[in-house]
Chains A and B, each alone.
Chain A
Amino acid sequence: MEYQKPIPLKTEDNKHYWDMADQHELSLQKCNDCGHYAHPPGPSCVHCGGQNLSWEALGKDVRATIYSYVITYRPFLPGFQDDLPLIIAQAELEKVPEVKIMCNVIDCKADNVYIGMSVQMTWQDITEDRALPQWIPVVV
């Protein structure tokens, strides 16, 4: 069945992030002037305005901790009607705590999500050539 949900729109500034995601890898934008990371990526550094940016590959093993979340019981966008209740969560990266990435938490019951919960990144193949990063609980 055709994927009904919105597909991340690639732009000049975010293309590398989504290209890497399509290959099931995380890549983050970093400022070489002040050393801060930038997420979401942009045309220059949000911390210092610097233009000397680079990309840092974090690979396929991305661990994180749930930082905040909402649980949605109503579809606000097409395609989500079969995914309710839907967990949308920001998780703090273990290796780069200043970066918090928002995804759905999949394979998790709504009642079980909590702040501080360990998750890892997984990639859902949503079309033939696109993949979407998601959080999945770490099974202890």
Chain B
Amino acid sequence: MGKITDRYAIVGVGESERSRNSGTTPLHMALDAARSALHDAGLNAQDIDGFMNYNENDSCTSHDLATYLGVRPKYVKDIQGGGSSTEMLIGDAISLIEAGMLNTVLIFRSMNGSSGQRVGRGYNPDMLQSALPGGSYIIPYGSASPSQWFGMFATRHMHETGITKEHLGHVCLSFYEHAQRNPKAFLHGKPLTMEKYLETPDISYPFNIHDSCVELDEANAIVVTSAERAKACKSKPVYIMGITPRQCHPNAHYWADLTKVASDYVGEELYKSAGVKPEDIQVASIYDCFSWVVLRQLEAYGLAPRGEVGDFAAEGNLRMGGSLPTNTAGGMLSEGYTHGMNNVLEIVRQLRHQYKETDRQVEDCEIGICTGWSGPDIAGAMILRK
């Protein structure tokens, strides 16, 4: 087992309301999420000495948040990033606590992802050509959305491994089914059938609207501290068994090699650091900006064998009662979308057995995996336990 195993814990999780139009600023939503996470942990804002957030220039700063929680922070960090940033910042928080520089860190993501700027609608073309590595080799061809960028990987991978559109549909159906048990999921009350999925036209093949995450206004927050300090919190701590906060594709212009994704480099170190094997995992939060991304990660993390991941989903393994209930609040495909943090909140609640005696609880689950995916370029993951 790794040197940090079980020595750090997530002690608080919280969220703001989620909607298509919050009518308020990211600061207001971040305050709601932070207060909720602090309340969950039984901590005061004064107990937090480090504040961190990730954003795409669409949020408030960590200093802003601390200020309006009424505290002077010792340490603030705002990074530019989307998927897998939660895992990276948790890694940073652990490192800073381990080095004795901080005690307890609050990490948040707040975004008006629907009423403000929307990722799925593409970006400014001139900005992209200079900002993206090799941007002038994709932008002039009309490729400016993650659905197109990741879709290029998906079509090739589906061709090589026999994954069909129907297999993608099974990922969607599994998560939509979870969302029907979660009154706070955005697509609660909107179940999906395979017939409906298959007749939905593509936005960008191989993805239709169901294969794509919901874009919403929402904020999430989590509190990380040492196992020692966790004892003083009112919540049941969820321990970090192992973490690989970040790995990268060999090429920043990741289209140069469609056969590799950053997640392929995460698993080995992750399982070693946690001292467990893929078959020990009982519940999962797999980053799901698109349905196919889930299947590709199941393969990368050894949770299902290459060539069989589509069938793994089709057999119901991602559903409640399956061998690996995944994104049990509905995931980003149907619950909400905060670039991965809502999936972290859910797995913490599962591992605490917070849904005990309801149909939402993955029975007796003790070990879970949570993965982050920025794209084929950058990924990270952690393994958590009760």
Q: Do A and B truly interact?
A: yes
User: Which A residues contact B (CB, under 8 angstroms)?
Assistant: 5-11, 14, 18, 39-40, 46, 67-80, 83, 86, 88, 90, 100-104, 110, 115, 132
Complex-state Cα separation, A18 to B151, whole angstroms: 26
Which stretch from B46-54, B201-209, B216-224, B362-370 is at the chain A interface? B201-209
Task: Specify which chain A residues have a CB less than 8 angstroms from the CB of B121 in the assembled complex.
Answer: 76
Complex-state Cα separation, A132 to B141, whole angstroms: 9
Contact, CB under 8 Å: A76 / B142: yes
Contact, CB under 8 Å: A70 / B140: no
Complex-state Cα separation, A110 to B137, whole angstroms: 21
B142: which of A9, A39, A69, A72 is its contact (CB, 8 Å)? A72
Task: Specify which chain B residues have a CB less than 8 angstroms from the CB of A77 in the assembled complex.
Answer: 122, 125, 139, 142, 144
Shortest CB distance B147–A (Å):
8
Contact, CB under 8 Å: B152 / A86: no
Contact, CB under 8 Å: A76 / B148: yes
Within 8 A of A (CB), among B121-158: 121-122, 125-126, 129-130, 133-145, 147-148, 151-153, 155-156
Contact, CB under 8 Å: B159 / A115: yes
Complex-state Cα separation, A84 to B345, whole angstroms: 40
Task: Specify which chain B residues have a CB less than 8 angstroms from the CB of A104 in the assembled complex.
Answer: 141-142
- Kindly list 18 other residue pairs between chains A and B, CB separation below 8 angstroms, not including A14-B137, A40-B133: A5-B142, A6-B140, A8-B129, A10-B136, A11-B136, A46-B250, A68-B155, A70-B147, A70-B205, A71-B205, A72-B143, A72-B148, A73-B202, A77-B125, A79-B142, A88-B152, A104-B142, A132-B140
Task: Specify which chain B residues have a CB less than 8 angstroms from the CB of A103 in the assembled complex.
Answer: 141
Given A39-B256, A90-B258, does the pair A73, B201 have CB atoms closer than 8 Å?
Answer: yes
Contact, CB under 8 Å: B145 / A76: yes
Complex-state Cα separation, A80 to B139, whole angstroms: 11
Given A70-B148, A74-B203, does the pair A115, B155 have CB atoms closer than 8 Å?
Answer: yes
In order of increasing CB-CB distance, the 4 nearest A-B pairs are: A76-B122, A68-B156, A40-B134, A71-B205
Task: Specify which chain A residues have a CB less than 8 angstroms from the CB of B136 in the assembled complex.
Answer: 8-11, 14, 18, 40
Complex-state Cα separation, A52 to B125, whole angstroms: 32
A68: which of B122, B144, B159, B204 is its contact (CB, 8 Å)? B159
Name 6 interchain pairs, CB-CB below 8 A, sorted by A. A70-B155, A72-B203, A73-B202, A73-B205, A88-B148, A104-B141
Given A67-B156, A74-B203, does the pair A46, B256 have CB atoms closer than 8 Å?
Answer: yes
Given A71-B204, A72-B148, A73-B202, does the pair A6, B126 have CB atoms closer than 8 Å?
Answer: yes
Task: Specify which chain A residues have a CB less than 8 angstroms from the CB of B204 in the assembled complex.
Answer: 70-74, 76
Task: Specify which chain B residues have a CB less than 8 angstroms from the CB of A6 in the assembled complex.
Answer: 125-126, 129, 139-140
B253 on the interface (CB 8 Å rule)?
yes
Complex-state Cα separation, A67 to B384, whole angstroms: 38
B251: which of A9, A46, A69, A76 is its contact (CB, 8 Å)? A46
B239 on the interface (CB 8 Å rule)?
no
Contact, CB under 8 Å: B145 / A90: no
Interface string of B60-91 (1 = CB under 8 A from A): 00000000000000000000000000000000
Given A46-B251, A72-B204, A88-B148, does the pair A102, B137 have CB atoms closer than 8 Å?
Answer: yes
Complex-state Cα separation, A100 to B254, whole angstroms: 12
Complex-state Cα separation, A79 to B125, whole angstroms: 11
Contact, CB under 8 Å: A115 / B139: no
B271 on the interface (CB 8 Å rule)?
no
B255 on the interface (CB 8 Å rule)?
yes
Complex-state Cα separation, A39 to B256, whole angstroms: 7
Which single residue of chain A is at the shortest CB-CB distance from B143? A88
Complex-state Cα separation, A78 to B258, whole angstroms: 27
Complex-state Cα separation, A101 to B152, whole angstroms: 12
Complex-state Cα separation, A40 to B142, whole angstroms: 17
Complex-state Cα separation, A76 to B203, whole angstroms: 10
